Amino acid sequence: MSSFKEKIDKTNLPKHIAVIMDGNGRWAQERGFDRIFGHQNGVTSVRETTETAAEIGIQYLTLYAFSTENWSRPQEEVDALMELLIDTIEKETPTLDKNNVRLMAIGDLSRLPGNASEKLQRCIAKTSQNTGLSLVLALSYSSRWEITNALKMICTEVMAGNYSTDEINEELISNHMTTKSIPDPDLLIRTSGEERISNFLLWQLAYTELYFTKIHWPAFRKENLYEAIYEFQQRERRFGK
Ligand code: FPP
């Protein structure tokens, strides 16, 4: 059986792929382990997905790593997840840098504990001149938080007389999102069989193709990414026209 890798059209790749990495907890529990084991194994899938995206020439890969809602999980899981995220980012930064990957982050980074935000900013700065794949981590991110935040900034600027309400348009709103320099996703992948957006990039997903797979995130491999891209390429995108 030929692989999806050979079937995808390299001249028609999505420019930006966003991923809701779901199912870590279930994957671990089905195997008799605790949830954090699932998150630890999810790192392998992050590595494979990032490597593949960089290899084939995807320009932006956004991963939903920690949502605003995730702060309400048991403290033990929050702490373990935060430690895993920041440790992995630090450990992988030299490899990302070597592969010309630029690391970025979106979300309410002020909520990250201790010196996590500082560590993250160091890794971002280290790779900021890279010109290959942009790997965007959504950390302490939720779309309603982002939209609320954008509204506050716009209202403040209108009250300061920088522009009038008539000048508020889609471009201005986009420029107040945390994704301001990033094109909207072409393809959204969600793993583990849930078919929801869960407060992720609500503004930016307006015309994005949605792809759902039953595979849990820790089991997601290169071939699964190729399959999602292949499926994306079979669709006709009309952008409402
Ligand atoms: C969702 O599974 C996954 C998360 C909330 C965290 C994702 C984090 C990683 C894969 C760790 C490493 C990431 C990076 C970027 C270094 P879930 O816990 O909601 O699973 P469930 O739905 O089965 O409970």
Q: Tens digit of pLDDT for each residue in 59-92?
A: 999 999 999 999 999 999 999 999 999 999 999 9
pLDDT at 2 over 80: no
Q: Could you read off the pLDDT of 25-60 as tens digits, one per residue?
A: 999 999 999 999 999 999 999 999 999 999 999 999
Among candidate residues 9, 12, 34, 70, the one labeled active-site is 70
User: Whose structure tokens read 């939209």?
Assistant: 147
Ligand 1 close to Cβ of residue 84 (< 6 A): yes
Residue 115's pLDDT band, with cuts at 50, 70 and 90, is: confident
Amino acid at 35: R
Indicate the SS3 state at residue 103.
Answer: strand
Q: Is 88 in the pocket of ligand 1 (CB under 6 A)?
A: yes
pLDDT in tens, 135-169: 999 999 999 999 999 999 999 999 999 999 999 99
- Contact of 61 with 53, CB cutoff 8 Å: yes
Helix runs in 3-138, H state only: 4-7, 24-30, 35-56, 75-98, 116-126
Q: How many CB atoms lie within 10 A of CB 48?
A: 16
How far is the C-alpha of 95 from the C-alpha of 200, rounded, in Å? 28
pLDDT at 237: 77
Using the CB atoms, write b or e for 66-105: b if 16+ within 10 Å. bbbebeebeeeeeebbbebbbebbeebbeebbebebbbbb
Question: Is the pLDDT score of 241 beyond 90?
Answer: no
pLDDT recorded at residue 135: 98
Per-residue confidence (pLDDT) for residue 1, from 0 to 100: 58
Q: How far is the CA of 224 from the centre of ligand 1 (A)?
A: 17
Q: Answer yes or no: is the C-beta of 80 below 6 A from any ligand 1 atom.
A: no
Ligand 1 midpoint to CA 241 (Å): 36
Share of the chain above pLDDT 90, in %: 95
pLDDT score of 214 = 98
Question: Token pair for residue 138?
Answer: 């959504």
Residues 196 and 23: their CA atoms lie apart, in Å, by: 13
Give the mean model confidence (pLDDT) for residues 2-21. Answer: 95
- The alpha carbon of 89 and the centre of ligand 1 are apart by a number of angstroms equal to 15
**Alpha-carbon gap, residue 32 to 17, rounded angstroms:** 32
| 236 contacts: CB under 8 Å, gap ≥ 6 | none
Question: Which stretch, 2-11, 146-155, 231-240, has highest mean pLDDT?
Answer: 146-155
pLDDT for 168-214, tens place per residue?
A: 999 999 999 999 999 999 999 999 999 999 999 999 999 999 999 99
- Counting from 1 in the atom list of ligand 1, the atom nearest the Cα of 218 is 10
Q: Please, what are the domains in the chain?
A: 15-142+184-233 (3.40.1180.10)
Ligand 1 nearest-atom number relative to CA 27: 23
Neighbouring-strand partners of residue 141: 67
Residue 195 C-alpha to ligand 1 middle, in angstroms? Answer: 16
Residues of the chain above pLDDT 70, percent: 100
Q: What is the pTM of this model?
A: 0.96
Residue 134 β-bridge partners? 60, 102
For residue 19, pLDDT over 80 is answered with yes
CA of residue 45 relative to chain centroid, distance: 13
On whether the CB atoms of residues 177 and 143 are closer than 8 A, the answer is no
Sheet order of strands, 187-190 included: 102-106, 134-141, 60-67, 16-20, 187-190, 209-212
Per the prediction, the chain carries an average pLDDT of 96
Which of 9, 12, 22, 186 does the annotation list as catalytic? 22
